[in-house]
Amino acid sequence: MAILAEGNTSAREDAGTFWVKASGAGLRDIGEAGFIQCLFEPILRGMSHKSLPDDKVRSVLQSAVCDRSSGLAPSVESFMHAYLLSLPGVEFVGHAHPIAFLSLMCLEEAGQFADQRLFPDEIVCCGAASAFVPYVDPGLPLARAVQESVESYYHAKAELPKTIWLQNHGLIAVGRTTAEVMSAMLMSEKSSQVRLGALSTGRKLQPLSQEQVARIHTRPDESYRQKMLFITETH
């Protein structure tokens, strides 16, 4: 799902700190040394400042690093990771730019697709809908836009999204376990391939109705399946 230094991942360690990919590290072959432990507080405080100049952004990130002896810098997307990891039930965050998914995000209709589901497993793994973020610069502007989108999703649906779609950029998935994040990312990529395949016929797409989505989303046997899929790896 990632080439070169694309994408970044993070995990909450405790109430005060989290681990995030170092800037420039490649996700394909990353090891423990590629992650940096950071404090939430300076990053979340920086995010709440209405206007933080560009030169301050880097110093805020550096001030959050727990062990500066490594010389590594946290990913510029650490603002987005810190915000999402501060939400209830979020222990891990994955972010990548998978090819089929990104193709979908480059279509004019990407925003309206975020509210649709095509098949039951997409609901089980990715949620009843996805939060959508119109294109914005990476880093602090993206983190603020993600916060805005997650909050409006929560107000509309009374639950947090499992997947967040970034227009012309990529995918974010959140979860209690690494398995939950992986399932959401893999299924988002699959559903993008299915959607693109269906659209490429030139015929009319038939998404599930809101009633069908709601029924799957709340069925007890589906929540059992979710548990079986997602409890295999715990934090």
Nearest to 223 by CA among 167, 169, 159: 159
Q: Which is nearer to Zn ion, 23 or 226 (CB)?
A: 23
Q: How far apart are CA 62 and CA 54, in angstroms?
A: 13
**CB within 8 Å of 230: residues ≥ 6 apart:** 175, 176, 177, 179, 180, 183
Stretch that binds Zn ion, among 57-65, 82-90, 111-119, 165-173 (CB under 5 A): 165-173
Q: Which is nearer to Zn ion, 116 or 163 (CB)?
A: 163
Q: What is the DSSP letter of 119?
A: S
Q: Which is nearer to Zn ion, 47 or 208 (CB)?
A: 47
Q: Does 170 bind Zn ion (CB under 5 A)?
A: yes
- Total chain residues near Zn ion (CB under 5 A): 1
Q: Which is nearer to Zn ion, 12 or 81 (CB)?
A: 81
Q: How far apart are CA 50 and CA 34, in angstroms?
A: 31
Q: Give the shortest CB-184-to-Zn ion separation in angstroms.
A: 16
3-state secondary structure of 12: strand
Q: Please compute Rg for the chain using Cα positions.
A: 18
Q: Give the shortest CB-72-to-Zn ion separation in angstroms.
A: 19
Q: How far apart are CA 151 and CA 184, in angstroms?
A: 20
Tell the burial category of 227 from Cβ atoms under 10 Å away from its Cβ (0-12, 13-18, 19+): exposed
Phi/psi at 139 (nearest 5 deg)? 90, -140
Q: Which is nearer to Zn ion, 161 or 170 (CB)?
A: 170
Stretch that binds Zn ion, among 85-93, 127-135, 169-177, 215-223 (CB under 5 A): 169-177
Q: Which is nearer to Zn ion, 46 or 98 (CB)?
A: 98
Q: Provide the 10 A C-beta neighbour count for residue 175.
A: 23
Q: Give the shortest CB-7-to-Zn ion separation in angstroms.
A: 6
Stretch that binds Zn ion, among 151-159, 162-170, 183-191, 217-225 (CB under 5 A): 162-170
Q: Give the shortest CB-97-to-Zn ion separation in angstroms.
A: 6
Handedness of CA 79, 90, 146, 111 (dihedral sign): positive
Q: Give the shortest CB-138-to-Zn ion separation in angstroms.
A: 6
Q: Which residue is nearest to Zn ion (CB)?
A: 170
Q: Give the shortest CB-171-to-Zn ion separation in angstroms.
A: 9
Q: Which is nearer to Zn ion, 127 or 170 (CB)?
A: 170
Q: Give the shortest CB-207-to-Zn ion separation in angstroms.
A: 26
Binding-site ranges for Zn ion (CB under 5 A): 170
